[in-house]
Amino acid sequence: MPEQPAELQRINWAACFPFIQLFRTFKMALHPGKLGLALAALLSIGLLGWLLDRLWPVRHQPVTDEVHAFWRTPDIDAWRNQRLDALPDVVRAAYQQEGFTLPEAVANDLKGRDRVAGAYRRAMDDFRKQGYDKLWKLKPEERAAAAARLNTTYRQLERFRHRGVFTAFLSYETSAVRQFIDSIATLNLTGRTREVLNARHGAGFAAFPLGDGPLGLTADPTRLPGPDIAVSQSETGIGALGSLILMARGVQWLVLEHPWFSLLFLLGKLAILSFFGGAICRMAALNFARDERIPLRSALTFAARKYVGFFTAPLLPIGLILGLGVVLALGGLIGSIPFGGGTLAGLLLFLSLLAGLIMALVLIGLLAGGSLMWPTIAVESSDSFDAMSRSYSYVYSRPWRAAFYALVAAVYGAICYLFLRFFVWLVFRLARAFLGIGMAFTDRPGTGAPGARRIDALWPMPSFDDLLRSRPPFAAVNWDDTVGYWLSMLWLGLTVLLLCSFLVSFYLSASTIIYYLLRREVDATDLEDVYSEDIEEEEPARTTTPAAPAPAGESTPASGPETPPPQAGESPTRA
């Protein structure tokens, strides 16, 4: 018989191309429970940083945009001293530009390094007071132009003020993350990476002049910088890999320049994320494997039960690197021996190279596979040692597949984030437009814009790059505008924080899916295989309870099924 042609009914694309599973991340990340946990984590970290900023001595606060200059300046101490020496001239130039008088006490305190931060704040407060007095003395038709000039000068002056360590670090990391998302969305992966790597050592310094913007300052410290406008991707050309290096530079600045602050903040941040992040990974694990959505209480209970593992997993490789570093430092004492120390150090150099090789492998494994540690515990209900072992094993066994999955997740996540950002921007613009219609008959010349209304003082016009634009310094005319502005920023800030929470939820959900895919590739484990507490709860119920002994004088019936008595009119059934 001739063979009948087979008809292709359906292609399992997910089995042919496993990375398609990553496209489920967007829906998983938008789960209200995951977004709520991510929002709680961000608020807790922000509260921790705010408290540390308030408790930290003012003399240790960063000078202006110090973090942005750290990654490109060979000598950050010299740069910092230059900025501090220039502060009195900066303030005096701003006052002279507007015809104001600088108080003598403030001018003297600006010269003292221990009192410069407080003096600069007093100078800015005095500038605002004199600015308001100047505006109210002008004619109404002249106030808008004068307010525009005052707002520009004040914002330029504000860029030189001292900020808290956490505030400066957050501002820098936000710029670096935005740079990373923009570079991923444009598929600029390695642009100017070599220059970014060499900038800290001075080799690539000329490629990144200290210009205006969040990634740079003016080269002349006495000249007032321009407005703090985000540097676009086309102007810098820094790719995704360079942006990741910039994020690492920010952590390097925090650790080297403020070691005690970094110890408290980073450990506190890890403690917060270990709880909320572990719960998000647990929800993502069951959602992906079984399409099951567990309640928040179950996820938080699991995270609390496995909290030690979540907390210590990232610390194990760091502790190993530091331990080997201490051994190398002690071994370096051999080179301090007056006679023969150099010979011994050279002879035993191969041991140092071996230790360096181990530290490099551990560090690369941490950077490449650290995101798999929490999903390992969430999926397997294991400990920190198993999390480190599996993450390192999967990354080193399938490095190119792991890199491909990470690239797909990054590109997809950047596109999803930009879409949601556009959606939030559209919501803001539509809401603000119709609110502005109701405030059409209110006049606010202090914003500096001709025809400005009260909506401009309560809610500055948002842009796609800056959803939370700060109001002009001289926009408010009474306490009602000030209270309304801060209440508006509260609701707008929560909305933007939800957008940031999506990034956290997406990152942890994508890491969980990547763990599943790599586990199936390396260990040949089904994607549906996940630890569940239901198995432990069902096991005791499956055990049979022994029957109670029969009373004396009664016979025990034989085991087996009981035969019901025959009904009327029926004959007994034979065995």
Is pLDDT larger for residue 355 or for residue 232? 355
Is pLDDT larger for residue 110 or for residue 559? 110
* Residues 6 or more apart in contact with residue 140 via CB below 8 angstroms: 445
| For range 109-125, the mean pLDDT | 78
| C-alpha to C-alpha distance for 290 and 321, rounded to whole angstroms | 38
- Name which of 512, 462, 506 is nearest 488 in CA terms: 462
| For range 178-207, the mean pLDDT | 76
Residue-level pLDDT at 554? 46
Contact 249, 284 (CB under 8 A): no
Residue-level pLDDT at 240? 86
Give φ, ψ of 169 to 5 degrees.
-65, -45
Is pLDDT larger for residue 529 or for residue 29? 29
* CB burial of residue 182 (10 Å; 0-12, 13-18, 19+): buried
State the Cα torsion 197-201-207-211 to the nearest 10°: 110
Using CA atoms, how far residue 72 sits from 67, 213, 216, 253, in Å, is: 10, 14, 9, 12
Q: Residue 151: which pLDDT band, with cuts at 50, 70 and 90?
A: confident
Strongest mean pLDDT among 77-86, 161-170, 222-231, 316-325: 316-325
| For range 339-344, the mean pLDDT | 77
Strongest mean pLDDT among 231-235, 478-482, 496-500: 496-500
| C-alpha to C-alpha distance for 334 and 19, rounded to whole angstroms | 52
| C-alpha to C-alpha distance for 455 and 492, rounded to whole angstroms | 14
| For range 292-307, the mean pLDDT | 90
- The 10s digit of each residue's pLDDT in 487-541 is 888 999 999 999 999 999 999 999 999 999 999 989 888 888 888 876 444 444 4
- The 10s digit of each residue's pLDDT in 396-451 is 999 999 999 999 999 999 999 999 999 999 999 999 888 888 877 777 766 767 77
> How many helices and strands, by DSSP H and E, does the chain display?
24, 0
- Name which of 444, 563, 421 is nearest 506 in CA terms: 421
Using CA atoms, how far residue 261 sits from 165, 167, 255, 323, 346, in Å, is: 8, 12, 8, 22, 38
- Collapsing DSSP to helix, strand or coil, 7 comes out as coil
Contact 405, 518 (CB under 8 A): yes
Contact 317, 542 (CB under 8 A): no
| For range 216-234, the mean pLDDT | 35
Q: HSE of 531 in the Cβ direction (CA atoms, 13 Å)?
A: 15
Contact 150, 137 (CB under 8 A): no
Candidate from 47-61, 137-151, 170-184, 420-434 with smallest mean pLDDT = 137-151
| C-alpha to C-alpha distance for 424 and 494, rounded to whole angstroms | 12
* CB burial of residue 542 (10 Å; 0-12, 13-18, 19+): exposed
| C-alpha to C-alpha distance for 514 and 398, rounded to whole angstroms | 12
Q: What is the mean pLDDT of the chain?
A: 80
Contact 517, 18 (CB under 8 A): yes
Residue-level pLDDT at 362? 92
Q: Output the six-digit token pair for 142.
A: 């002249």
205 pLDDT higher than 80: no
State the Cα torsion 88-90-91-94 to the nearest 10°: 150
Contact 275, 307 (CB under 8 A): yes
Using CA atoms, how far residue 37 sits from 177, 181, 501, 505, 572, in Å, is: 21, 23, 8, 8, 67
| For range 360-366, the mean pLDDT | 92
| C-alpha to C-alpha distance for 439 and 195, rounded to whole angstroms | 50
Helix (H) or strand (E) holding 520: helix 479-523
Strongest mean pLDDT among 158-167, 218-227, 450-459, 562-571: 158-167
Determine what percent of the chain is predicted with pLDDT higher than 70.
Answer: 82
State the chain's maximal CA–CA distance in angstroms.
119
| C-alpha to C-alpha distance for 120 and 327, rounded to whole angstroms | 46
Contact 488, 517 (CB under 8 A): no
Q: Is 129 left (phi over 0), alpha (psi -120 to 50) or beta?
A: alpha
Residue-level pLDDT at 495? 92
Contact 201, 216 (CB under 8 A): no
- Name which of 236, 266, 212, 217 is nearest 68 in CA terms: 217
| CB atoms inside a 10 Å sphere around CB 259 | 9
- Collapsing DSSP to helix, strand or coil, 308 comes out as helix
| For range 249-274, the mean pLDDT | 92
| C-alpha to C-alpha distance for 292 and 534, rounded to whole angstroms | 13
- The full length of the chain comes to 575
Is pLDDT larger for residue 176 or for residue 456? 176
* Residues 6 or more apart in contact with residue 267 via CB below 8 angstroms: none
| For range 157-179, the mean pLDDT | 86
469 pLDDT higher than 60: yes
555 pLDDT higher than 80: no
363 pLDDT higher than 60: yes
- Name which of 207, 375, 367, 162 is nearest 286 in CA terms: 375
| For range 84-88, the mean pLDDT | 80
| For range 284-306, the mean pLDDT | 90
Residue-level pLDDT at 9? 59
Residue-level pLDDT at 409? 92
* Helical spans, DSSP H, in 291-398: 296-305, 307-312, 315-331, 341-347, 349-369, 373-380, 384-397
- The 10s digit of each residue's pLDDT in 379-400 is 998 889 999 999 999 999 999 9
Amino acid in the structure at residue 16:
C
| For range 17-44, the mean pLDDT | 90
- Name which of 414, 82, 77, 72 is nearest 215 in CA terms: 72
| CB atoms inside a 10 Å sphere around CB 345 | 17
Candidate from 141-155, 169-183, 495-509 with smallest mean pLDDT = 141-155
Q: Output the six-digit token pair for 515.
A: 């763990």
Residue-level pLDDT at 510? 94
Residue-level pLDDT at 147? 82
Q: How is residue 444 annotated by DSSP? A: -
